[in-house]
Each structure stands twice: as C-alpha cells, then as structure tokens.
Structure 1
C-alpha cells in the first residue's frame, strides 16, 4: 500500500495488536533516563517489529497516525515521548507566561508542538516545517485532535535568505532532512521549497517577539541566527532560545553566537541548551 493510500485511510485502520499496544502503553509511561529508558527500549522492540509501515494510536490523550520506521520523531511519540525533549518542555512549560508565543522551527510532524500544547494549552504555537510529506502528516493528526486546532503551521524552510531553496529528503530518518547549498542538485529526493529568514517569518505572522524559539534544523542553525541578529532589532529577539548542544562537547558556534549577543544559558539537558535574553 502506498504512502498516499495510508494517509487517506480512516483513522483506526492501522491499530496495533492488543499485546503490542499494551507494551507501548508501558514504554510511554517511562522516563528517557537510566534503567527506565533501557526497559522502554527492551519492551518496544517486539512491538515495533509487529508494526508494518504505519500505526494508529491513542497516546497522551492524542489520536495519532505515525510512521515509526520512517521517522525517529514518530518512533519516540509512539514508544517514549519523554525523548522528545521532555525535560526541556517541562522547563519551558513552567517558565513561560500565559499565552506565550512559541515558534517551533524544524517541527517535523509536530511532536514537540503537540506535547507542549498538552502541557500548556494557552500557548500560541507556530510550527515551521518545509517537507510537504511531513506537513501533510502533521495536518492529518492535527485534524484528529481539537486541542491542536490552533497550532499554526508554516510550510517553509528557515534560512539566511528568502526565496526558493532545495530540500534533501533522501535520509532513512525524515527528521534528518536538510537544506542543500548546491543550487544545481537534482534527484527524486530533492524538492524545491519556500525559504524565509527568521525575521521575515516573524513579520509574516505578525510576531513582534516570541517568548521561545526552538531551533532544530540539522546544522543550519548558525546562518539562520547570524542573519536574524543582523537584520532584526533587539526588541524582536526571543526571550528564550532552545538550541541543540550535546552536554559532553564544546559549545557549538550557534550557542556561542547567542552568548555573544547577550543571552545566557539557563538550563541544559543531554542534547539541548535553553538560553534566556539578558539584554533589552
């Protein structure tokens, strides 16, 4: 059955077996650290093997159609949602004010946005994702869940320039899609997408200043933030930034750039840092 067929079928057509569903309910209740993480990985293996390409589940009070063998984000939503930046979301949910504006750049199928919306239904979330297939899957799941209806979706790539960009979707994990610098690149896995600078994105959606920008765009973060700091006034800079930064390695150039612009690290996890603006 083709991808198009699975995305048109009614929700519930791809429900997991009862035993697989029971195992996955257990794994979803566990944390993504220590012994619990190891137990979750052990229990999810047979459940994942029983699933073909697609599965319909009820998880965390959400109805979702997921493709766990094509996308790491789907696999985490299905089996261990705490791995979708659980500690970071917990921190953000406790720090941001009522009706905070959140921009999720590199939203994938929207897992981070969906789970954060559950934690803080008052948040006003803009999810940004350029891959047409992931956008289609995001909107399918959004339509199933009333809570998610007011998440805005921008189907563009955020870059250091406006205009048409080339997106490579050749990887086995859809979460590793990335912008190509070679304007002559061709192939079935290369698609043309609209590109926006971060400042232009904010202007397009009438956002003067976001309370949080979460940035996960496969190594393209530095040129995006460099351009943003160059072309936007300080009052448009976000209060908080979430950027990928592994704990055991030297600070990357994007985090260093933000520190040089007056941000400070307020908390960090194994894979990310959250920075807060200290200048006005």
Structure 2
C-alpha cells in the first residue's frame, strides 16, 4: 500500500541534522564517476534511517518527498543535480510567451514544478499522473509552489478514452505501468480513467503544445501514435522528451516522428528529445 499522505504544513518534516548533513554532501558531488560513487554510497547508508517524508527545496521547488518507495523522489532528495539536468535545461530554453508544457507521467511534480519556476504564472502546465497515491503527493507539492501555473490531471493517457488497468510496483511507485507487469510477476492493480492526448488537449482548450514530456514506462507509443495520426498539425508539440525505452514500444515511434518532421536534438542515458523546426 502507498503510505498515507502527510498533509501537515510544509516545513514540519524538515530533515533532522544528521540527514541534513548527508544531503549537503550528496548534493554537492560533481557529475563524475567518483562524485556519483560518493553520493550513492552516502545515500545507501542514509536511506534505511529515513522514517517518513522529508521537506526540502530542490529543482527550484518546495517538495515533500517519500524516498523509500519511489526512485524519482529518492533521486530528487539526495542528488537533484543529476536529475535529468540536460533535459530540463533544454525545456527551459524553449520557454516563450504563453508557454504550454504537458508533463505526462508527472510523478510527484519534479519536472512540472521546475519548469513552472522558470516559465512564470502566464504559462500553462499540465501535470498528468494516474496513480492515486502519487497523485496526492503531486497535488500537495503543487500547493506549496503557488507562483507557478501547474494543474494536476488525474488520469492515464493512452489510445482510447475510458479506463485502463495500472500495474503498481510497491518498491518503486514511479515505475508503475498500464502495459507491463513487474518482472517478479506480482503487482497491485487499480483501474484508472484514461484519455487520449488529443482529448486532453481539447478538454483543456489548448491551441498548441510547446513541449510534451512522456515518461510512462513503455506506453509512450500508446499515446503518441494515435495523437500524431488524429491531431491537427498545430497541436503537435514543438519539442518532445521521451523516456528511452524503445525496446518496450510495440510501434515504430521513431519512424513516425521522422515522418512528421521531428529530428533528434538530444540523447542522454535515460531520455531522447525530438524537435520540429
């Protein structure tokens, strides 16, 4: 089960002195082989001693993090300097007036709130997250950062409007998927509402999408293929950031992107970015 949400005022779960000292060390490590080894070693020692959520400032946002059951939250807590830095810099460089960002698989809001801090209140940012417990954490974190214009949307995106089964991973809630059962074959399941990306865009009245980020554990093709087929060209995102899990896709997403005028502009260990001129 997902731990119950702690709704106490932000700041009441500040890290105790020993953990604060460890975080000071892990967060200052450089992005080198040795730096990462030091940071991850300290993280390994500190993590078992964390008994509840932790309130921190990271990635230009105030966040309450539950690092013991979600890899995303663990990464942001201990090593935010390693958290998709190149991808977030790229997205921020594309901010313009009336900026529209759709964060699909928003988790607890790391990307969405980081972008919101740079884009300002005039931007429109949708943070789409289907998993009930994680969605509650997302909503809490959005409320702690009122200067940005982030709207949380509780649904899964896919190839149809209706309902999908979400397979939950208890050891890493951020790796839950509508397509893949965890490798050990055991998973909780929950039925969640589903929409296509085109339906979401129409319901939200979007005239364009500047950037879309998709991190949905191998179901990216379920979202993108029908959208590229059915959506008007004006709605195609100028920049797409996709989780690099091509081996899980059951359709030729890369070929479809090329046919629609997208060119690869960034590749990192975890993600790919494509942009239309």
Q: So what's the TM-score if we normalise by structure 1? A: 0.86
Shift of the 55–8 alpha-carbon distance from structure 1 to 2, 3 Å rule, reads same
> Structure 1: 5+ residue runs without aligned partners?
none
Q: For 1:108, what is the secondary structure of its paired residue?
A: coil
**Counterpart for residue 92 of structure 1:** 91
Deviations 1:25-65 (A, max 9, x none): 23223454433222221232333232124222344553322
Q: CA deviation at 1:223?
A: 2.2
**Counterpart for residue 163 of structure 1:** 162
Preserved CA contact (<8 Å) 1:165 1:180: no
**How far apart are the structure 1 equivalents of 2:169 and 2:267?**
31
**How far apart are the structure 1 equivalents of 2:179 and 2:221?**
15
Shift of the 246–218 alpha-carbon distance from structure 1 to 2, 3 Å rule, reads closer
Aligned residues: 267
Q: Which runs of structure 2 are paired with 1:100-115 in the superposition (5 Å)?
A: 100-115=99-114
**Counterpart for residue 227 of structure 1:** 226
> Structure 2: 5+ residue runs without aligned partners?
none
Preserved CA contact (<8 Å) 1:246 1:270: no
Preserved CA contact (<8 Å) 1:55 1:67: yes
Alpha-carbon RMSD across the aligned residues, in angstroms, is 2.5
Greater shift in the superposed pair: 238-247 or 223-232: 238-247
**Counterpart for residue 45 of structure 1:** 44
Matched, 1:194 2:193: yes
Q: For 2:160, what is the secondary structure of its paired residue?
A: coil
Preserved CA contact (<8 Å) 1:84 1:111: no
Preserved CA contact (<8 Å) 2:109 2:127: yes
Preserved CA contact (<8 Å) 1:168 1:191: yes
**How far apart are the structure 2 equivalents of 1:124 and 1:130?**
19
Greater shift in the superposed pair: 59-68 or 159-168: 59-68
**How far apart are the structure 1 equivalents of 2:233 and 2:127?**
23
Q: For 2:50, what is the secondary structure of its paired residue?
A: coil
Preserved CA contact (<8 Å) 2:265 2:274: yes
Q: CA deviation at 1:173?
A: 0.4
**How far apart are the structure 2 equivalents of 1:28 and 1:98?**
33
Shift of the 254–41 alpha-carbon distance from structure 1 to 2, 3 Å rule, reads same
**How far apart are the structure 1 equivalents of 2:94 and 2:192?**
34
Q: CA deviation at 1:271?
A: 1.7
